[in-house]
Chains A and B, each alone.
Chain A
């Protein structure tokens, strides 16, 4: 079809732009997912034996996810200005809940008799955490990280509205130039590359899951 041909022609003429925009979105995904994973796993670990702070942090993280994206991306502008930071903060707040919830679920799913036997073997609390609880919970935690990463790809398209760059740039410029030539191609570029990036992240994180899950847990 000529539509698809003209899209490929559109892409082939601007590989540099496509690559740099894709890298911007990937930059959000990596920085946001890493930051959210560090914070959420830490909170999940620290509150694993205390019901109230655990449920409170879960409730707060879920409030962030109910705040509409345009609102969360713009509400920090008076404080941090336009560009990368308002987008990063919003995406970070969104990414917390899936990881936190899965960390909590994963740690609670660890059979208490296994923890008991680790104690019986004379392991310290830190050893139990790092050698027993976290490895056993890891597949569940990683599934949460995967959900957060894919969520970030989709929502980061909004970043363009606060001058934060990323694949949303194509959608915005296409919409602004409608119905001129190449405007549709630009919109499809933003949508399809977001979709492909989400799928690529999904499958690569599933692969990472197999590689980083300890052999005993896997079987």
Chain B
């Protein structure tokens, strides 16, 4: 009962807060006095370009995370890799304590300016949720189901592809949703190392002391993250294998 009620409320509360924020944004955008500097910062063409940059960064880093973390999660849940799994999850958990701000700057020091640097930094920061959920998803599969697969004469690869993975899809998707929200949001920090994104608007507002520009930038970043989280919630609700 709790699970379904909570997720149903998720589907209502997130868009409700998003709507509230959008209305606030609309009011500020239309009714606040904007001086020429603010207007220049909030040039719609600029905002659109920054939004596009941020989404592209998030797309590639999330894709990279999926490509790396899911096979890695499958690999370490095969028998015999238990020690490796615990070491890896422990290490990544420790990495998680590194501030996102510090991580993105360290990647800049290491790899220099450019979109690749930002994508790798975002991917490093959002690797853990997908990896952890892949491991948890596979491990929560009822061993008796796997046994019956064995009894039916399935090879290990068949058991993985037709039993373990399909049964862990909901958990893995929830990890991908978390990773997407992290990369979309953290892309706002890309401006720090010349990677663009909506953080530029917030930063310009901070530098030039224009609270209206700060608010518009912040509200847009928040709305993008909420939209992706909501889309993820919908995907979690409606995308699962038949029979689950």
B121 within 8 A of A: no
B222 within 8 A of A: yes
Contact of B186 among A55, A68, A162 (CB under 8 A): A68
State the Cβ distance, A107 to closest chain B Cβ, in Å: 13
Interface bits B98-111 vs A (CB < 8 Å: 1, else 0): 11111101101100
Residues on A with C-beta less than 8 A from B206 are 74, 77, 161-162
Q: Which of A78, A150, A154, A158 has the most CB of B within 10 A?
A: A78
Contact B102 A157 (CB under 8 A): yes
Partner-binding segment picked from B5-13, B140-148, B149-157, B167-175: B5-13
Which range contains the number of B residues in contact with the other chain? 35 or more
Knowing A63-B226, A78-B212 touch, does A56 contact B218 (C-beta < 8 A)? no
Knowing A63-B13, A63-B14, A171-B105 touch, does A154 contact B96 (C-beta < 8 A)? yes
Count A interface residues, CB 8 Å. 43
Contact B219 A75 (CB under 8 A): yes
Residues on B with C-beta less than 8 A from A56 are 9, 13
A135 within 8 A of B: no
A67 within 8 A of B: yes
Q: Please classify the interface of chain A as helix (H, G, I), strand (E, B), loop, or mixed, using the class held by over half of its residues.
A: helix
Contact B211 A194 (CB under 8 A): no
Residues on B with C-beta less than 8 A from A154 are 96-100
B131 within 8 A of A: no
- Which chain A residue has the least Cβ–Cβ distance from B177? A66
Interface bits B190-214 vs A (CB < 8 Å: 1, else 0): 0011000001001101100001101
A residues sitting closer than 8 Å to B (CB atoms) are 51, 55-56, 58-60, 62-63, 66-72, 74-75, 77-78, 150, 153-158, 160-162, 167-168, 171, 174-175, 178, 184, 187, 190-191, 194-195, 198-199
